[in-house]
Structure 1
Amino acid sequence: MTFAQQQPAELTPQDSRTMLQIGKSYLGTQYVANTLDRDGEEELVIRTDAVDCLTFVEYTLAQALGSSFTENLQKIRYRDGIIDGYPSRLHYTSDWIENGIRQGFLTDVTAENSVQTLQLSLSYMSAHPKLYKKLANSPENVTRMTEYEKALSGKIVHWLPKSELPENGLSWIMDGDIIAITTKLPGLDIAHVGIAQYIKGKLHLLHASSTLGKVVVSDKPLNHMLNNNKSWTGIRVVRMSH
């Protein structure tokens, strides 16, 4: 296990506002890609001083769930909480969401509120192994990733097209909900993740921005962000469960 700094203070779980409260404590934290990819065996890496869009959400969720931060993080990041090499890490956000629902700490809010569905078709990682340090020179890892992609592909999930998301959000999207942005990039499911935050009645996104290089709250409402990115198609919304 690798610790870059002292673990964050543990908090008692309350509701989704706890997610927002904790997430805002990361404002200004540096954006750094690939902090989890280390030489040697796969291990639980904790670097709350440098995050990407997903690790920011993971650390926030692990704190919000209370009890043991380290145990929570392992359950969040790895399939059924078991570390078994690089492919056991939940690289596809749809897999990450399904794992959280299966283990009881996430609820799929979109499934309860949107009739729109899409069929997963995942192949991006196995089709572009050179983009990933632990796939580039490991045919075994590529084979395992391909198996997970095939297992996920064909599954039906609920989503909300960006054309149906108004500037002021929707009554069923709450402060602190996890927002996963869907994409039309072939073989990929989710392009970006963040946390819902309403500002003056409009839905914004608290997220680790690669463009700005740090954790920020979007200056524009979320629907503007979606409309300004042609490859982004809509959102999935999940919520921390107690």
Structure 2
Amino acid sequence: MRRFALMMLIPVMLGCSAKKSVENPVESAPETAHPQSMAIKMNDETVNKLHAILALHAAVPEADKGQTIDLLSQAFLGTPYVANMLIGSATTPEQLVIDFHGLDCFTYLDYVEALREATTDQQFIENLIQTRYVKGEIDFLHRKHFFTDWAQKEHVLADDVTAQLSPHAVTLVKHLNRKANGDAYLPGLPVVERRVTYIPSEFVDDNVIRQLQTGDYIGIYTKLAGLDVTHTGFFIMTQDGPVLRNASSRKENMQVVDSPFAAYVMNTPGIVVLRPR
């Protein structure tokens, strides 16, 4: 077993407990006797990387929103892709996972969004709780499971600008969490009816790309019933052109990479664009 560092004792909201699935090597610390406190454990790699990123962020105080997201997301390039980083379900207690040793596509967004306005360890953790959970309640049912939750759920993190970018944007009503056969993707989680707008890939042309901004959150739309997107990343304009910066599960990658944006989107159903606030 790897050695873990007890990082700090952080006060969190009453009733809190944390996010996603089962394949996470982080060992959560037990709650303390105080009901409004939770001990946060992070491995040494995560602690060191967090401090390095906070120092990097502090070195460019004048950076705008897009530059900040570019800077913070770039710090994770090369980080291994690891699926199902979060722990919790309808039958498994939710745990507050903070682990930079590996990322899936959505925890990558979580961490960068939480770091965006953080200057200290505690501020990052508090931001992460608000980013992942409705009302900051660390609980499976309060977790923001779907990409469009960021623009729909309380404590809105971003604005859905998809419809503004193209006259070819399509809006459909989806029943999130309900498969075509009626089963749930996540048992115990309610089905949510939501209007989801996306731009079909054949219409993601130069005009659309020109309107995208560095730091925009990109969701890869899916036609599957019950889901809004199947992948996420950041739109970043680099010296070599626009890229989708993403935690890639493709066999040739399996890490955080910059994928040429137009070529990536061409082979997908389309995109949903959320603009960070």
**Match of residue 132 from structure 1:** none
Pick aligned residue for 2:118 from 63, 66, 79: 66
Which ranges in structure 2 are unaligned for 5 or more consecutive residues? Answer: 1-39
Q: For residues 1-242 of structure 1, what are the structure 2 equivalents within 5 Å?
A: 1-4=40-43, 5-6=46-47, 7-8=50-51, 9-10=53-54, 11=57, 14-37=64-87, 41-67=93-119, 68-84=123-139, 86-99=140-153, 102-115=154-167, 116=169, 117-122=171-176, 123-124=178-179, 127=183, 142-143=187-188, 145=189, 147=190, 149=191, 152-153=192-193, 155-166=194-205, 169-200=208-239, 202-211=241-250, 212-218=253-259, 221-228=260-267, 232-241=268-277
Larger-gyration structure (1/2): 2
* Cα shift at 1:184: 0.7
Letter in 1 for 2:244: L
TM-score by length of 2: 0.69
C-alpha distance in 2 between matches for 1:169 and 1:17 = 20
C-alpha distance in 1 between matches for 2:241 and 2:206 = 6
C-alpha distance in 2 between matches for 1:66 and 1:108 = 24
Aligned length: 216
C-alpha distance in 1 between matches for 2:156 and 2:82 = 29
C-alpha distance in 2 between matches for 1:109 and 1:51 = 26
Which ranges in structure 1 are unaligned for 5 or more consecutive residues? Answer: 130-134, 136-141
Q: Which runs of 4+ in 1 moved over 4 A?
A: none
* Cα shift at 1:111: 4.2
**Bigger RCO of structures 1 and 2 (CA < 8 A, at least 6 apart):** 1
More helix per residue: 1
1:120 aligned counterpart, secondary structure = strand
Letter in 2 for 1:91: H
Kept after mapping to 1: 8 A contact 2:165/2:208: no
Letter in 2 for 1:87: L
Q: RMSD between aligned alpha carbons?
A: 2.6
1:37 aligned counterpart, secondary structure = coil
Closer, same or farther: CA 19–193 of 1 in aligned 2, 3 Å: same
* Cα shift at 1:168: 7.4
- The sequence identity of aligned pairs, in percent, is 31
